[in-house]
């Protein structure tokens, strides 16, 4: 689409629709119309005049208000506050001056530790470690007892299992030996066997195979 | 294959009478089991007599003419491994010259060619 198609000539300025108006009128609906008719409620803002207030006057009143609030928030005079702090410092100095350094709580505890013999400290540590070791040993002894019991239980179970397997093996061996002896006790197939017997045996095998397939 | 059947075939192969050959042909070469037919054909070749070799060379569907390639090839291998090949060559020549079936003649011709090359 070309510009000429919009209906504007190159020298003609179009109104910026995004430009805000800063004129002195307070009627925001002054230029609003609906199909050429001005809206009726725009008349409400006619006759309203803005106040011409000085900026310096506004700042002065703001500072005065802040000072008033600050003065009301201080409940104690500054002279009394300074006096109280000075008394506190004086009391602390008097206490420190009249008190022996070795009587101070922290220094006293340090002196007690330093006066203790190093051998006694070692004994105390040794006793503590010994007690700890005894406790662990007692725990481990209970653990070892439980493990040995578990092992004994498993051993008993395995012994029963071995007995069962042995019985099963004995049973299988007995059946197998019986089967082998039964086979060997029958007619042995050798080259000395007659052709008639071999034929009969072969026919018997064929019959057994057919019965097996049928079953 | 059943172990007893194999032992029976071995025992029949060790016999020298024609009755054993008849039993092998009747029960062995007509068996529906390929392994039994293969084992029987090899036993008949190992006999290396006219009647036994004739069964595996001339008869259609038996020995080298078996429908199972495994049985046919196994029989041919057994023929090729014979030390005395005189009788088998004679039967092959008669089959090539006189047999009525072309496929049997062709198989006999192929086996004879393999014998010549071996």
pLDDT in tens, B71-96: 999 999 999 999 999 999 999 999 99
Q: How confident is the model at residue A53 (pLDDT cuts 50, 70, 90)?
A: low
- Whether residue A199 lies within 8 A of chain B, CB to CB, comes out as yes
* Joined tokens for residue B85: 């090949």
Which chain A residue shows the shortest CA-CA distance from B21? A195
Please give the pLDDT value at position A150: 62
Dist. CA B99–CA B92, nearest whole Å: 10
Q: In a 10 Å sphere around its CB, with 0-12 CB exposed, 13-18 middle and 19+ buried, how is residue B65 labelled?
A: buried
A33 strand-pairing partners: A38
* Joined tokens for residue A32: 């609003």
Q: Give the CA count within 13 Å in the CB-facing half-sphere of A12.
A: 8
Indicate yes or no: pTM above 0.80. Answer: no
* Partner residue opposite A191 with nearest CB, options B2, B15, B19: B15
Please give the pLDDT value at position B109: 95
Dist. CA B66–CA B51, nearest whole Å: 18
Please give the pLDDT value at position B24: 95
For a pLDDT cut of 90, what percent of chain A falls above it?
Answer: 6
Dist. CA B40–CA B74, nearest whole Å: 11
Flag if A203 and B27 touch (Cβ within 8 Å): yes
Flag if B23 and A198 touch (Cβ within 8 Å): yes
Q: Calculate the CA A197 to chain-centre distance.
A: 87
Flag if B12 and A198 touch (Cβ within 8 Å): yes
Question: Do B62 and B81 touch, CB atoms closer than 8 A?
Answer: no
Q: Using DSSP, state whether A22 is helix, strand or coil.
A: coil
pLDDT score of B107 more than 70: yes
For A143-169, the pLDDT digits (tens) are 565 656 766 666 666 665 565 666 767
Output phi, psi for A33, to 5 deg: -140, 160
* Joined tokens for residue A184: 């060997």
What is the overall mean pLDDT for chain A? 66
Q: Give the CA count within 13 Å in the CB-facing half-sphere of A181.
A: 6
* Joined tokens for residue A145: 């007892």
Question: Do B22 and B47 touch, CB atoms closer than 8 A?
Answer: no
Please give the pLDDT value at position A3: 47
What value does the mean pLDDT take over residues A69-98? Answer: 70
Maximum mean pLDDT: which of A64-73, A92-101, A126-135, B21-30: B21-30
Higher-pLDDT residue of B58, A84: B58
What is the overall mean pLDDT for chain B? 94
* Partner residue opposite B2 with nearest CB, options A198, A203, A209: A209
Which chain A residue shows the shortest CA-CA distance from B3? A205
Please give the pLDDT value at position A137: 67
Flag if A199 and B23 touch (Cβ within 8 Å): yes
Question: Do A203 and B8 touch, CB atoms closer than 8 A?
Answer: no
Please give the pLDDT value at position A145: 58
Higher-pLDDT residue of A100, B105: B105
* Partner residue opposite B11 with nearest CB, options A193, A203, A209: A193
Q: How confident is the model at residue A185 (pLDDT cuts 50, 70, 90)?
A: very low
Dist. CA B111–CA B56, nearest whole Å: 12
* Partner residue opposite B4 with nearest CB, options A191, A199, A205: A205
Q: Calculate the CA B58 to chain-centre distance.
A: 9
Flag if B7 and A203 touch (Cβ within 8 Å): no
For B14-34, the pLDDT digits (tens) are 998 899 999 999 999 999 999
* Most A CBs within 10 Å, among B6, B11, B12, B15, to test the A interface: B11
Dist. CA B92–CA B89, nearest whole Å: 5
Flag if B8 and A205 touch (Cβ within 8 Å): yes
CB pairs under 8 A between A and B: 39
What value does the mean pLDDT take over residues A204-210? Answer: 90
pLDDT score of A2 more than 60: no
Question: Do A42 and A30 touch, CB atoms closer than 8 A?
Answer: yes
Of B39, B47, B41, nearest in space to B15 by CA: B47
């Amino acid at each position: 689409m070309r510009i000429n198609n919009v209906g504007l000539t190159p020298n003609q300025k179009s109104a910026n629709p995004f430009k805000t108006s800063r004129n002195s009128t307070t009627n925001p609906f002054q230029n609003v119309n609906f199909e050429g008719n001005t809206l009726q409620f725009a008349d409400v803002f006619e006759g309203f005049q803005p106040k011409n207030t000085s900026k310096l006057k506004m700042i002065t009143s703001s500072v005065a208000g802040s000072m008033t609030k600050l003065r009301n928030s201080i409940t104690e005079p500054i002279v009394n506050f300074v006096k109280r702090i000075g008394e506190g410092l004086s009391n602390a100095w008097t206490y420190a001056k009249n008190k022996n350094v070795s009587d101070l709580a922290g220094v006293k505890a340090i002196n007690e530790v330093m006066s203790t013999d190093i051998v006694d400290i070692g004994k105390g540590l040794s006793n503590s470690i010994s007690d700890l070791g005894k406790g662990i040993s007692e725990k481990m002894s209970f653990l070892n007892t439980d493990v040995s019991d578990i092992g004994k239980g498993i051993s008993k179970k395995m012994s029963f299992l071995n007995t069962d397997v042995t019985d099963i093996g004995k049973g299988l061996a007995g059946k197998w030996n019986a089967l082998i002896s039964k086979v060997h006790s029958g007619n042995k197939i050798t080259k000395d066997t007659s052709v008639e017997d071999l034929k009969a045996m072969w026919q018997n095998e064929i019959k057994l195979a057919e019965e097996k397939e049928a079953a | 294959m059943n172990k007893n059947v194999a032992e029976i075939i071995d025992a029949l192969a060790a016999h020298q009478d024609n009755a054993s050959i008849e039993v092998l042909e009747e029960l062995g070469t007509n068996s529906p089991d390929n392994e039994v037919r293969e084992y029987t054909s090899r036993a008949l070749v190992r006999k290396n007599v006219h009647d036994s070799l004739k069964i595996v060379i001339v008869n259609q569907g038996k020995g080298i003419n078996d429908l199972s390639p495994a049985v046919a090839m196994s029989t041919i291998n057994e023929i090729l491994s014979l030390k005395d090949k005189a009788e088998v060559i004679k039967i092959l020549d008669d089959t090539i010259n006189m047999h009525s079936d072309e496929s049997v003649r062709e198989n006999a011709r192929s086996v004879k060619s393999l014998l010549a090359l071996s």
